[in-house]
Amino acid sequence: MQTVKIRLRKPTRVFTFLADDITLLRNDDCIVRSDRGLEYGTCVLPPEPCPDHLISRYKMTVVRKVTLSDEGTFRQLQQEEAKAKELCARHIRDRSLPMKLVDVEYTFDKHKVIFYFTAADRVDFRQLVRDLAQDLKTRIELRHIQVRDEAKITGGIGMCGRELCCATWLREFKPISMKMAKRQNLSLNPSKISGQCGRLLCCLSYENEMYKERKRSEVEGTVAPRVQEPDAYVVDAFGAVGAFSQSDIRHRPSDWRERLQEMGEDETVVESIEDVLEEEVFEDTELPEPAAPSGPHQEVEARPQDAQRSAQGDEGGKRRGRRRRRRKRPGGPSHHGSGGGQSGS
């Protein structure tokens, strides 16, 4: 006995079936028997040997490979599903039921019709079932699904540009929480971390365990924590101050102390590289004296009028300085007030 992985048509989930001497290759269509009856499926994984003690676990079996008549029946089923969906949507509108019809599925033997719908609250659809059974003349099943299952059945393209994971390979939905987005330092904007279904992205759980292990290692001390580098701030990029003047980052190698010791004559350790830079730039240099006037015609004699003006200017500056000091004295008597009192007496 062999086991084979088959993806059913609706919903697109992969189940394990028993295949008894039936040769199937990948992507081969086949007819299987499940708990709902005969169904149309596609082979995902070729048959593999199954131990005898595990055979009792699997109840569903592969009936046969798809034949030409089965392909005709499948095309006819697709047409009848479209008609049943239109009929059910009309009954829902007529009865104003608060539900959204997602998809319709016929079993391959036409013994049952399954209607998938979503609704915010519980819906009383007993009368709707009676109307559908009267029109379709078969067994009716209405299945309430969640919005994630709706996206799985409908399909689409995610924000990453690829087809939805739930519509292609994802078997089951795992619980997703906002804690996963916070742990991975992602944006908490709901529009950026939500999928087509309106729920949090399923891919948030793909790397969640790695981030949890990293955080656990940092707490235990087995892994050195990441040190965040300080940011650089530009004060005046084109002025005299220069760019990155107020930054904590200095463009120096990690072994700058050893290099300075090798360059210096003594063995003193420099406390900071800023001191070295100041010594190099602001060293004691003598300013050049102004050049003496050359030539007999460039000598200018000092005039007595200029000396008198300079003396008057110095005396005026001293007076203005005294006035400012008098005004700045807090709580002291003003000069004009005291003078006025003496004249009055």
Q: From 128, 145, 162, give the residue that closes a domain.
A: 145
Nearest by Cα to 176 from 151, 195, 150, 155? 195
Kindly state whether residue 230 falls inside one of the protein's structural domains. Answer: no
Question: Which domain-ending residue is among 101, 120, 145?
Answer: 145
How far apart CA 45 and CA 60 sit, in angstroms, is 16
Domain of residue 125 covers 74-145
- Do 86 and 123 sit in the same domain of this protein? yes
Query: Is the same domain home to 21 and 78?
Result: no
The number of domains in the chain is: 2
322 to 318, 327, 328, 330, 331: CA distances (angstroms) = 6, 9, 10, 15, 17
Kindly list the distances between the CA atom of residue 55 and the CA atoms of 37, 58, 277, in Å, as whole numbers in the listed order.
Answer: 20, 6, 81
Q: Tell me whether residue 31 is in a domain.
A: yes
* Residues 93 and 125 grouped into a single domain: yes
Domain boundary among 66, 85, 102: 66
Answer yes or no: do 140 and 84 share one domain. Answer: yes
Examine residue 278 and state whether it is found in any structural domain, yes or no: no
Q: Is residue 85 part of a domain?
A: yes
Q: Do 80 and 61 share a domain, yes or no?
A: no
Domain of 78: which CATH number?
3.30.300.20
pLDDT tens per residue, the chain (345 residues)? Answer: 888 998 888 767 788 898 888 888 888 999 999 888 888 999 988 888 888 888 888 889 999 999 999 999 999 999 999 999 999 999 999 999 999 999 999 988 888 999 999 998 888 888 999 999 999 999 999 999 999 988 988 888 998 899 998 888 887 888 999 999 988 888 889 888 999 888 999 999 998 888 888 777 777 766 555 656 555 544 444 444 444 444 444 555 667 667 667 765 444 444 444 454 444 444 444 445 555 554 444 444 445 555 555 555 555 555 555 555 555 545 545 444 444 444 443
Report yes or no on 291 lying in a domain. no
Asked if residue 99 and residue 59 are part of one domain, the reply reads no
Give the model's pLDDT for residue 235.
46
Whether residue 128 sits in one domain with residue 78: yes
Q: Which two tokens stand for residue 38?
A: 């005969």
Is residue 333 assigned to a domain?
no
Query: What is the β-pairing status of strands 112-118 and 139-144?
Result: parallel
Check whether residue 15 and residue 55 sit in a common domain.
Answer: yes
Residue 164 lies in a domain: no
Residue 59 located in a structural domain: yes
Separation CA 235–CA 3 (nearest Å): 70
Residues 78 and 132 in one domain: yes
Q: Are residues 51 and 9 in the same domain?
A: yes
Cα angle, residue 219 at apex, residues 216 and 225 outer, rounded to 5°: 100
- Which alpha helices (H) appear in the chain, and where do they start and end? 68-95, 126-136, 147-154, 165-168, 178-183, 190-193, 208-220, 256-263, 273-281, 304-328, 335-344
